[in-house]
Chains A and B, each alone.
Chain A
Amino acid sequence: MKRIIERIGRFVSLFILEAGGIVLFTFRTLRHLFTPPVDLKLIIQQMLSIGVRSFPVVFITSIFTGMVLALQTYTGFKRFGAETMVGSVVALSMTRELGPVLTGLIVTGRAGAAIAAEIGTMRVTEQIDALETLATNPLKYLVLPRFIAGLLMLPALTVLSDIIGINGGFIVSAGVYNMSSSLYWRRVWDYLEMEDFYNGLIKAGFFGGSMALVCSYKGFYTEGGAEGVGRATTQAVVLSSMIILVSDYFLSAWLF
């Protein structure tokens, strides 16, 4: 019994330590938003690597998600004669939920892992110390551009994901089930409100910013050589994904 309580205690204190660490890290990074000069070149570089280069995987994920949504909805809803609603279901699911969450998870796996590994390697090879000796703040130089890029690019990718997913649904509805294309699109617009779309983008922005910060944090405090970089990368991806899934519920409850 004593051992169990000890274990729980250790877990709780570790959790609080980690949460506090991330909050402090966030605060220390965001403070540099207000200290010029802001290095546009670094931000654009990160927007390319986090955003533009993630597009192919986002494309594949979104189109197949839209397609399978249409497939499942059509066969399911046909049982009670509501198969014409496919367009609405696909559009609402993509914009409110699947666009932001899937994009967030995919970008975490791709770009978040890269952020943690890159910053972690810089830590264990003393490149972060070298930045400090060259009178350059590593939070401002390394973390802030990644945060801004994550914050901006995730919503941008989500817009594309929404559009691609809805078109994926269209391909299956019209191509496989011979639904009339005007009916599909009418159903898409019938129940979709701009609010669904905007709130999805707010979620995406939160996912992007928190993913970049958590992955940078894990990389920044890497210890123990190549093995440490591997460990930090794994933890970064797992933690970021958890944050996305948990915060998704609370953000949805609050926004919608």
Chain B
Amino acid sequence: MIEIKGLYKSFGRKEVLRGVDLTINKGESMVIIGGSGSGKSVLLKHIIGLLRPDKGSVFIDGLDITKLNEKNLYKVRKKFGMLFQGAALFDSLTVWENVSFFLIRHRGISEKKAKEIAIEKLRLVGLVGVEDLLPSELSGGMRKRVALARAIAHEPEILLYDEPTTGLDPIMADAINDLIIDLKNKLNVTSVAITHDMHSAYKIADRIAMLYEGRIIEVGTPDEIRNTSNPVVRQFITGSAKGPIKIEGVTNG
């Protein structure tokens, strides 16, 4: 279970998070929506301890990770897998070395065995015969799949997705959505995704939370969000430029 309590974070004078409260239950798939620059990525990075808050706590299974020292934080991170927006594959390593990176470094598995596991994980995300290629030889959609295989290779309990469908064509995006649902059913993980792609949010979420002006302003099931009375959420999910949400750098007359 993930509990976020009163999280504040500023960069210079810009207050990005202003008291975020959110609870994500075990086995649940939570999708956090919000506009560009609303602080979704910053929130996600706090959940895995890549950023430290100015104030507030993040509890992972009851343990406050904002108070941990480096060594214990790395221990907690072993529960996590994370898919980055740009895949973030290590470009000096081959595909299979990327996928089995964690296993080789932390489980002391032999290279031969690690490669076998990598091939199996790659098959799980629908890739065959790419294990000896370098990331630069893959297409955008394939990179994302490899990154997903890397994120799940050590069978984490919690999966974080940073804009999983951004930058993909609609068909590839939907294939990634299916994959996320498939993995959730197969591996029974808790997952947190951030996105501004509503189609994807409705499809993969058990619950959706909206981040606006540094706070969570509404949480609900996809149906509840669809029928919300909150004008801000309404404007966002219908994708209208007119409404209470101010577009940065644009003044509404």
In angstroms, Cα B88 to Cα A130, docked, is 6
Q: Is the CB of A126 within 8 A of B74?
A: no
From A4-12, A75-83, A132-140, the one touching the partner chain is A132-140
Q: In the complex, are the beta carbons of A129 and B101 less than 8 A apart?
A: no
Report chain B residues within 8 Å CB of A133. 48, 50, 77, 80-82, 160
Residues from chain A with a CB closer than 8 A to the CB of B74 are 135, 137
Cβ A129 vs Cβ B88 within 8 A = yes
User: B45: CB under 8 A from chain A?
Assistant: yes
A135, B78: Cβ atoms under 8 Å?
yes
User: Residue B105 at the A interface, CB < 8 A?
Assistant: yes
A127 touches B (CB below 8 Å)? yes
CA distance A136 to B82 in the complex (A): 13
- Least Cβ–Cβ distance between A226 and chain B, in angstroms: 13
Contact yes or no, B86 A125, CB < 8 A: yes
* Interface hits, A127-186 → B, CB 8 Å: 127, 129-137
Say yes or no: B88 contacts A135, CB within 8 Å: no
- Name the CB-closest residue of B to A134: B102
Q: Are B78 and A127 in contact (CB under 8 A)?
A: no
What residues on A are CB-neighbors of B45 within 8 Å?
Answer: 129
**B86–A135 CB distance below 8 A:** no
Among B43-88, those with CB < 8 Å from A are: 45, 48, 50, 70, 74-75, 77-78, 80-82, 84-86, 88
Q: How far is the CB of B75 from chain A (nearest CB, A)?
A: 8
With an 8 Å Cβ cutoff, the count of chain B residues facing the other chain is 24
Write out the residue numbers on chain B whose beta carbons fall within 8 Å of the beta carbon of A130. Answer: 82, 84, 88-90
Is B132 an interface position by the 8 A CB rule?
Answer: no
**B112 is an interface residue with CB less than 8 A from chain A:** no
| Most-contacted residue by chain A among B75, B88, B150 (CB, 10 A) | B88
Q: Which of B147-195 contact A (CB under 8 A)?
A: 150, 160
CB atoms of A129 and B78 under 8 A apart: no
Q: Bound complex: CA of A201 vs CA of B86, how far in Å? A: 44
Q: How far is the CB of A194 from chain B (nearest CB, A)?
A: 40
The reply to whether B105 and A126 form a contact with Cβ atoms under 8 Å apart is no
Within 8 Å CB of A135, what residues of B? 74-75, 77-78, 102, 105-106
Q: Which residues of A contact B75 (CB under 8 A)?
A: 135
Q: Which residues of B contact A131 (CB under 8 A)?
A: 90
Interface pair B106/A126, CB less than 8 Å apart: no
Measured between beta carbons, the chain B residues less than 8 angstroms from A134 are 77, 101-102, 105, 150
Chain B residues in 8 Å Cβ range of A125: 86, 88
The residues in B between 192 and 237 inclusive whose CB is less than 8 angstroms from any CB of A are none
Partner of A126, one of B81, B85, B150: B85
How near does chain B come to A195, taking the closest CB pair, in angstroms? 41
Asked whether A126 lies within 8 Å of B86 as measured between CB atoms, the reply is: yes
Contact with A along B22-60 (1 / 0, CB 8 A): 000000000000000000000001001010000000000
Q: Which residues of A contact B (CB under 8 A)?
A: 122, 125-127, 129-137
8 closest pairs, A vs B, by CB? A130-B88, A126-B88, A133-B82, A135-B77, A135-B74, A126-B84, A134-B102, A127-B88
Q: List 25 A-B contacts (CB under 8 A).
A: A125-B86, A126-B84, A126-B85, A126-B86, A126-B88, A127-B88, A127-B90, A127-B91, A129-B45, A129-B50, A129-B88, A130-B88, A130-B90, A131-B90, A132-B50, A133-B48, A133-B50, A133-B77, A133-B81, A133-B82, A134-B102, A135-B74, A135-B75, A135-B78, A137-B74
